Amino acid sequence: MKNGTMGRRIAVAGGATLAVSGLAFAQTSSVQIYGRISAGITHKTHQTGAKTELSNYLLNGSYLGFRGGEDLGGGLRAIFRLETNIDTDTGEMGSRGKFWHRESTVGLASEAFTLTLGRQFHASTDRVTRSLDVFSVSGASLHVTPLALYGVNKFAGNDSRSDDVIKVRWDGPAGITAALSAAPNEGSGRSMAFDLAQITNTYTVALYGVTFKSPTLAATGLYPQHTVLGAGGQLRLGSSARLYLNAARATLDGSARGRPEQANTLITPGLRYDMAPFIFKFSYTLDSGKNINNVAGRDGKKKTAIAAVDYQLSRRTALSFSVFSNSFSDGYRLDPVNIAGLTRDPSRSSTSGYAIGVRHDF
């Protein structure tokens, strides 16, 4: 009888401990819904399709995301992130046949290291987005986000994100951060990337690189490659202005068709100026291409200029206006990727336009 009473007391105590433990775990886990909704009217010149349209605001795509984590103890957390595109004008979600097109990752994080697995940006694109582009590569159109600005997979429809990525990031002392990422040779081919940066309140300096291998073996017995190596940074000027710079060299192997290598040299300066409640941004990209589309002697230049102003109605909501221009010279006028992406009249050497929109972050 005594032992039975003691057993019941132990069972009750154990149940209470488990209940409290479960409550503790529940209190240290979290899920956050976040995203951006934007809409705008865009007018473009020299088009083969509609010249004026309602869509997501050109410089801020719309998306919905879920992120969260759980404290595992000892400074370790389990983390996850899911993001999908939203077309505000039609209500459609997802892209490229993928619902969680923007990101679908799970991983572990400590004070110094973060490991993520799944569909996501490579390390190199992280760095350009966070530090080297004044618009954070957030444009919803090729008109304002040149493909050559950062590493995209030429062998998978110029996809800016990669499937099956394993990425490790280290955040060290004095603002130093570094990351490595790699994806195995699955449907879109093998790829790997790195970035190294120092980030302070006054300046950022960074190096990055990415290589994509075609999933299809060439007649030479090799897998054609697309490689981008770049460097740049940003500099704070006083309390209101920031200067940006991104310089890169991209090469695209043409051996699969017995053609020469395409090479692009890019330089993108940018400026941000805050004058509350206004934010002004400007960038200019000069893309000098050689053997464009792997055609010998097809050389030319592409120039992209973007100027934008946001009027901040609140910390999360803004009215926006932007003007943009893309012009092509010599062999670059014949590039089918830009003709299709910009819906540019092939007989014209440029396209320009403006966009007016509203954005709300939540």
Average pLDDT of the chain, as a whole number: 91
What is the reported pTM? 0.89
Predicted confidence at residue 324, as pLDDT, reads 98
Give the closest residue to 322 by CA, choosing from 311, 332, 314. 311
A 10 A CB-CB count for 321 gives 16
Residue 322 pLDDT exceeds 90: yes
Instruction: Tally the C-alpha atoms within 13 A of residue 234's C-alpha that lie toward its C-beta.
Output: 25
CA–CA distance from 2 to each of 5, 7, 16, 213 (Å)?
5, 9, 21, 73
Rounded mean pLDDT, 80-84: 98
13 has pLDDT over 50: no
pLDDT band at 186 (very low <50, low <70, confident <90, very high): confident
Model confidence at 20: pLDDT above 50? no
Q: Which amino acid is at 255?
A: S
- State the Cα–Cα distance between residues 102 and 34, nearest whole angstrom: 13
Out of 23-32, 156-165, 198-207, 223-232, pick the least confident. 23-32
CB 198 within 8 A of CB 204: yes
pLDDT-based confidence at 6, cuts 50/70/90?
Answer: very low
| Cα-based distances in Å from 169 to 72, 115, 226 | 19, 7, 23
The mean pLDDT of 42-57, rounded to a whole number, is 95
Q: Is the pLDDT assigned to residue 14 strictly greater than 60? A: no
**Band (163; pLDDT cuts 50, 70, 90):** very high
pLDDT in tens, 267-278: 999 999 999 999
Average pLDDT over residues 321-336: 97
Q: What tokens appear for 132 in the block?
A: 């080297």
For 208-237, what is each residue's pLDDT tens digit?
999 999 998 888 888 899 999 999 999 999
Residue 22 reports pLDDT greater than 80? no
The region of weakest confidence among 5-9, 25-29, 244-248, 274-278 is 5-9
